[in-house]
Chains A and B, each alone.
Chain A
Amino acid sequence: MDATYAILVELVPEIAGWSAWAIALVSAGLPALACFTFMSLGPIIYVYAERKISAFMQDRLGPMRVGPYGVLQTIADTIKLLFKEAIFPRGVDRKLFVIAPLLVNVGAFLPFVVIPWGARLQPADLNVGVFYVSAISAISTVGLIMAGWASNNKYALFGAMRSAAQIVSYEIPSLLIILVPVMIVGSLSLQDLTLAQNGGLHHWFLFRYFPIMPVAFVCFFVAGLAETNRAPFDIPEAESELVAGFHTEYSGFFFSLFFLAEYTEMFVVSAVVSVLFLGGYLAPLPALQQIGPLPMGWFWLWFKAWSLVFVMMWLRWTLPRSRVDQLMYIAWKVLLPIALGLVVTVGGLVLWPVTAGGFPWDRYVGWPLTLLLVGFLLVVMIRALLWNKRRAGELAYPAGASAAGQVAR
């Protein structure tokens, strides 16, 4: 709010003369409006991207009919969902049934208060930023249980119970791993966490203490994935066993609210992972932080978060759904011990820094390994393209028919 006020005063100096409530309204309302618009319109793009990515991964085309390449498909779907009748089955608890999706959305939207899009482009720089994010996003669990309970339906309740068990389990390793960057920086504020990684790609926490932080990154990402109820951890809405889990009884607008919350949570988790491990709004090269007069911070955070959202979609269309016991195994027997180990190790490293004065670990190991990793990713991507070129002849088309042989009407 203060940062917004400063920016606003720079842009329109008259604002300083306004009455206190008007200033508060404008400087709090504008970021809120911006975030809300961004988050409400975001899922239109996410759903389209998800459908396209899933289609391409299965050698299909995805939506192609509504608009060029189907870009208007989700808009059509949104309109359809909003105009559909919201059905209230006879047995539901109407009050809770209505409040539940709203509560889920509260948990999904409120973390945006502290996500930093730039040095000053942040609705509020809370000094308990990361803590606030994990506390607020846990509210959506209450919403899910409420939805399952109010539906008065055994499958909905099963889904709600599973999601409660899952989110409670995965909160623990994710909170422990949050402690790792927090211990390095000594602050919970997302702004401080970001600025501690200033100076380019190799200063990101992902490449700090080389073998340790990548492990933390992967574990935190897995825990975040589980907290958003996404595949392969989507057992709360496992359609093959629970119909649709907690939103079995929902339809129309209220169903779309759950949808909105899911995609918003995906973005929030990705943004938090970017801030904690990938340098938040900082550019990979310091020169790219500002292009001409335009600060690019918002773009870099958006780009990093989007890349992670893409990885989430990629995982969803790669892996089968895990069983409940496997889910619990991963949380309690894999992530939790690793997280504890990481906390102890990094705590020790922060207390007794091995690199101080001695071997510059990050310069001689961290930076080359960063380059190696980026290079490896590039090689993998290029190899994928070559693989497709090599296989182009033997894939997909039966004998006698080829892509060139398609007949246009």
Chain B
Amino acid sequence: MTQWLKDVWFGFYTVLVGMRITWRHLFTKPVTLQYPSVKWPLPPKSRMRLFMNYEDCIGCGQCVRACPVNCISLKTEKRPADAPPIWAATGQPIKLHVSVFDIDMSLCCYCNLCTYPCPTFCLYMTPDYEFATGNLTEHLYRFAKKDAKFLMEDPKKKAAPAEAPPAAPPNPPASPAGA
């Protein structure tokens, strides 16, 4: 009889304990984030879609060699001798004309290895991760432009005391509009 009373009381009491817990959580702030309208802040070194700033590329091809899955295809040809000299924003003279710079993001494994060797910091990961498409071929990004506006004078000569402000990867270098 005593044991029975204890059991019944224990059963009732544990129900109350459980109810107390759920009652507390009833007023807890929900942790759900309504994704498309609200997003988590991304960590600063998150690796998402690649972007290449064509005006700064010197066509060295180091990224192509670094890529473990060969998703970057690069074609360069020598600029003619009588062409006007152009520079990247970091000060390197651009000697090669980049005719093709394609990145196949459907192959990319987001290892970030291509961005480290880039001498002009023109290849970097952007925080954009919502680029799903209905067609796989749309993941082939062609960065070579016909109407690129290159720097026509040496940025090192222009700003002699401040030695070459290298563009930090998340911030694309300001496009040289006044060329």
Contact = CB atoms under 8 A, between A and B. Distances in A.
Interface of A: 53, 55-61, 64, 218, 314-315, 317-319, 330, 333-334, 338, 380-381, 384-385, 387-388, 391-392, 395-397, 400-401, 403, 405-409
Contacts of A59: 25, 28-32
A401 B40 contact: yes
Interface in B27-45: 27-34, 36-41, 43
A396 B36 CA distance: 20
A407 B34 CA distance: 11
Contacts of B37: 408-409
B6 interface: no
Nearest to B38: A406
Interface in B4-36: 4, 8, 11-12, 15, 18-34, 36
Contact of B24 (A64, A333, A387): A387
A395 B20 CA distance: 17
A136 B135 CA distance: 61
B40 A58 contact: no
Interface string B36-59: 111111010000000000000000
A396 B33 CA distance: 11
A218 B12 contact: yes
A318 B26 CA distance: 11
B129 to A, nearest CB: 13
29 contacts: A53-B26, A55-B30, A56-B30, A57-B22, A57-B25, A57-B26, A59-B30, A59-B31, A64-B34, A317-B22, A318-B22, A333-B4, A334-B8, A380-B23, A384-B23, A384-B27, A385-B27, A392-B29, A395-B29, A396-B28, A400-B43, A401-B40, A406-B33, A406-B38, A406-B39, A406-B40, A406-B41, A408-B38, A409-B39
Given A319-B18, A334-B8, A405 B30 contact: no
Interface string B119-154: 000000000000000000000000000000000000
A98 B22 CA distance: 39
Contacts of A400: 41, 43
Given A59-B28, A406-B39, A407-B38, 6 more contacts: A56-B30, A315-B19, A319-B15, A395-B31, A406-B33, A407-B40
Residue of B8, B22, B37, B39 with highest tally of chain A CB at under 10 A = B22
Given A218-B12, A317-B22, A380-B23, A395 B40 contact: no
Contacts of A384: 23-24, 26-27
Interface of B: 4, 8, 11-12, 15, 18-34, 36-41, 43
Contact of A315 (B12, B15, B29): B15
B36 A388 contact: no
Contact of B29 (A64, A314, A396, A401): A396
Contact of B31 (A60, A334, A380): A60
A395 B39 contact: no
Contacts of B11: 330, 334
Contacts of A55: 30
Contacts of B22: 57, 314, 317-318
A387 to B, nearest CB: 5
A403 B29 contact: yes
B29 A318 contact: no
B32 A61 contact: yes
A333 B18 CA distance: 23
Nearest to B15: A319
A317 B26 CA distance: 11
A314 to B, nearest CB: 6
Contacts of B20: 380
A61 B26 CA distance: 11
A58 B25 contact: yes
A409 B36 contact: yes
B18 A318 contact: yes
Contacts of A330: 11
A319 B41 CA distance: 36
Contacts of B28: 56, 59, 388, 391, 395-396
Nearest to A337: B4
Nearest to A381: B23
Given A318-B15, A408-B37, A388 B23 contact: no
A310 to B, nearest CB: 10
A387 B40 CA distance: 26
Nearest to B17: A318
Most chain A CB atoms below 10 A, which of B15, B26, B34: B26
A381 to B, nearest CB: 8
Nearest to B24: A384
Contacts of A405: 41
Nearest to B20: A380
CB-based closest 6 A-B pairs: A396-B31, A61-B32, A318-B18, A318-B22, A57-B22, A61-B30
